[in-house]
């Protein structure tokens, strides 16, 4: 077979992999069974409010200025660029802990590495869609993923039961919310992380990376693009493993060879199936099963769990091998997402307000996915 035929065959395989993965991401299974209510989300920016919870205090001294802002219909990168324009501080000296959604009202912290920057200049950032909430100083910059949690306040409108009376949606949603509060939800990455366009770009980038690595050439991409596409590939593979375990009904239970995560930490350990304490710790959500964030190196899981993870991820070899070539290391992420401080109320016959807290790096859409079938206005 000629090289041209090989390239054409590889292209067909890559397209098939891509279509298969996108189809799966569009129909991720529900732990509580098919949803029974429909609704509308993000009709206005105020329907999605998120507040970053640092979990620690600034020292009040140091060469890093820390600024808490509230942004409306702006991305985190939009705010960072505006800080650069107003203060004159280069973008590379501006840091943040997490990327916040554009479609909503979000508060978060930024750090600016400039020991002479005055608070009066910071106040010049204030505008209709960007409010300064607090200014402090710290001895260190704000690092990615360093905040403790995010607190969400969401409003859903146009609630309708898929079958039943006009008011039956309240009973159906209340039942699911009680289950969510007691047992958590599958810790899916949200579409804002993987994104269908990002999946397509990830396949194209990693496929090109494989071909050009043989020629010692790297495909052109900005650091932001590369990070986004690698993240999309990794999060999609994780979702695929989690979806398989949700379908099998063991996403929140202990399997042979599972790697466990200690709740609220990045600590993981290989489960000892003969440890009598593990089932009880699992039931009170002190520990959670994990899935792979794919990269080079051996999976930390063993036995049946490793076999399941390999079978799921290697359905998409372009992504697996590409992530390894890109130099990412194997990591783990909890399969179960505890939903803390959950409160809700119904009003105006077809609307619901709910609030809850999630660990950093987790998605409110994972909660909504388990709750109802929603569309975004």
Q: Are residues 179 and 206 in the same domain?
A: no
Residue 51 is assigned to a structural domain of this protein: no
Q: How many domains does the chain have?
A: 3
3-class SS letters over the chain: CCHHHHHHHHHHHHHHHHHHHHHHHCCCCCCCCCCCEEEEECCCHHHEEEEEECCCCCCCCCCEEEEEEEEECCCHHHHHHHHHHHHCCCHHHEEECCCCCCCCEEEEEEEEECCCCCHHHHHCCCECCEEEEEEEEECCCCCCCCCCEEEEEEEEEEEEECCCCCCHHHHHHHHHHHHHHHHCEECCCCHHHHCHHHHHHHHHHHHHHHHHHCCCCCCCCCHHHHHHHHHHHHHHHHHHHHHHHHHHCCCCCCCCCCEEEECCCCCEEECCCCCCCHHHHHHCCCEEEEEEECCECCCCCCHHHHHHHHHHHCCCHHHHHHHHHCCCECEEEECEECCEEEEEEEECCCEEEEEEEEECCCCHHHHHHHHCEEEEC
User: Residue 106 region, left (φ>0) first, then alpha (ψ -120 to 50), else beta?
Assistant: beta
> Closest by alpha carbon to 232, among 326, 311, 142?
326
User: CATH code at 330?
Assistant: 3.30.2340.10
Query: 94: which strand partners?
Result: 112
Q: Are residues 221 and 201 in the same domain?
A: yes
- Decide if 301 contacts 259 (C-beta within 8 A): yes
Residue 144 is assigned to a structural domain of this protein: no
pLDDT for 218 beyond 80 = no
User: CATH code at 179?
Assistant: 3.30.2350.20
Which pTM value belongs to this model?
A: 0.90
- Decide if 173 contacts 67 (C-beta within 8 A): no
Q: How far apart are CA 88 and CA 267, in angstroms?
A: 39
pLDDT the model gives residue 273 = 82
Residue 304 is assigned to a structural domain of this protein: yes
Domain span at residue 125?
56-138
Q: Are residues 312 and 366 in the same domain?
A: no
Cα angle at 59 between 58 and 64, to 5 degrees? 75
pLDDT the model gives residue 16 = 87
> Closest by alpha carbon to 293, among 243, 352, 335, 337?
335
Q: Are residues 155 and 126 in the same domain?
A: no
Q: How far apart are CA 318 and CA 325, in angstroms?
A: 10
pLDDT tens-place string over residues 271-305 = 998 899 999 999 999 999 999 999 999 999 999 99
Residue 163 is assigned to a structural domain of this protein: yes
**Structural tokens at position 337:** 């997402």
Q: Are residues 233 and 285 in the same domain?
A: yes
Cα 330 to Cα 276, 299, 300: the distances in Å are: 29, 7, 8
Q: How far apart are CA 217 and CA 210, in angstroms?
A: 10
% of the chain surpassing 70 pLDDT: 93
pLDDT tens-place string over residues 89-109 = 999 999 999 989 899 999 999
Residue 50 is assigned to a structural domain of this protein: no
Residue 143 is assigned to a structural domain of this protein: no
Q: Are residues 176 and 84 in the same domain?
A: no
Q: What does pLDDT average to over the chain?
A: 91
pLDDT tens-place string over residues 225-260 = 888 899 999 999 999 999 999 999 999 999 999 999
**Structural tokens at position 318:** 């372009």
% of the chain surpassing 90 pLDDT: 79
Average pLDDT over residues 308-317: 95
Q: What sign for the dihedral angle of Cα 31, 34, 36, 42?
A: positive
How confident is residue 224, by pLDDT bands cut at 50, 70 and 90?
confident
Domain boundary among 104, 138, 172: 138
Q: How far apart are CA 54 and CA 67, in angstroms?
A: 12
Residue 170 is assigned to a structural domain of this protein: yes
Cα 42 to Cα 8, 30, 101, 190: the distances in Å are: 43, 22, 11, 15
Q: Are residues 285 and 163 in the same domain?
A: no
pLDDT the model gives residue 217 = 57
Taking the CB of residue 195, how many other CB atoms lie within 10 A of it?
20
Pairing state between β 373-376 and 37-41: parallel
Q: Are residues 108 and 73 in the same domain?
A: yes
Q: Are residues 153 and 88 in the same domain?
A: no
Q: Are residues 169 and 295 in the same domain?
A: no
Residue 11 is assigned to a structural domain of this protein: yes
Q: How far apart are CA 329 and CA 84, in angstroms?
A: 33
Residue count of the chain, please give it: 377
Q: Are residues 193 and 330 in the same domain?
A: yes
Q: Are residues 15 and 111 in the same domain?
A: no
The catalytic site residues sit at: 101
Domain boundary among 109, 138, 167: 138
């Amino acid at each position: 077979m000629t090289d041209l035929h090989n390239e054409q065959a590889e292209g067909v395989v890559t397209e098939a992999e891509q279509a298969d993965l996108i189809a799966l991401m569009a129909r991720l299974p529900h732990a509580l069974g098919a949803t029974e209510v429909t609704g509308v989300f993000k009709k206005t920016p105020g329907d999605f409010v998120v507040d970053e919870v640092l979990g620690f205090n600034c020292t009040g001294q140091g060469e890093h200025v820390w600024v808490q802002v509230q942004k409306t219909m702006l991305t985190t990168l939009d705010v960072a660029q505006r800080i650069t324009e107003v203060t004159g501080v280069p973008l590379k000296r501006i840091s943040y802990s997490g990327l916040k959604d554009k479609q909503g009202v979000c508060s978060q912290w930024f750090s600016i590495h400039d020991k002479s920057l005055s608070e009066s200049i910071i106040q010049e950032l204030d505008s209709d869609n960007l409010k300064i909430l607090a200014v402090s100083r710290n001895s260190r910059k704000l690092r990615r993923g360093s905040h403790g949690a995010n607190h969400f306040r969401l409003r859903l409108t146009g609630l309708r039961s898929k079958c039943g009376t006009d008011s039956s949606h309240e009973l159906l949603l209340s039942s699911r919310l009680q289950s969510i509060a007691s047992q958590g939800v599958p810790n899916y990455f949200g579409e804002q992380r993987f994104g269908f366009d990002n999946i397509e770009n990830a396949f194209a980038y990693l496929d090109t990376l494989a071909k050009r690595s043989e020629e010692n050439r790297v495909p052109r991409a900005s650091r932001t693009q590369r990070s986004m596409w690698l993240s999309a590939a990794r999060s999609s593979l994780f979702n695929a493993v989690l979806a398989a375990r949700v379908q099998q009904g063991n996403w929140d239970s202990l399997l042979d060879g599972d790697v466990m995560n200690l709740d609220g930490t990045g600590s993981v350990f290989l489960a000892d199936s003969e440890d009598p304490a593990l089932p009880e710790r699992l039931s009170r959500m002190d520990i959670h099963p994990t899935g792979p964030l794919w990269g080079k190196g051996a999976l930390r899981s063993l036995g049946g769990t490793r076999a399941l993870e390999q079978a799921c991820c290697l359905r998409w070899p372009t992504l697996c091998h590409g992530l390894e070539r890109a130099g990412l290391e194997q990591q783990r992420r909890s399969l179960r997402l505890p939903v803390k401080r959950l409160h809700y109320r119904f009003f105006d016959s077809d609307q619901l307000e709910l609030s809850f807290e999630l660990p950093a790096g987790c998605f409110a859409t994972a909660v909504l996915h388990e709750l109802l079938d929603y569309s975004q206005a």
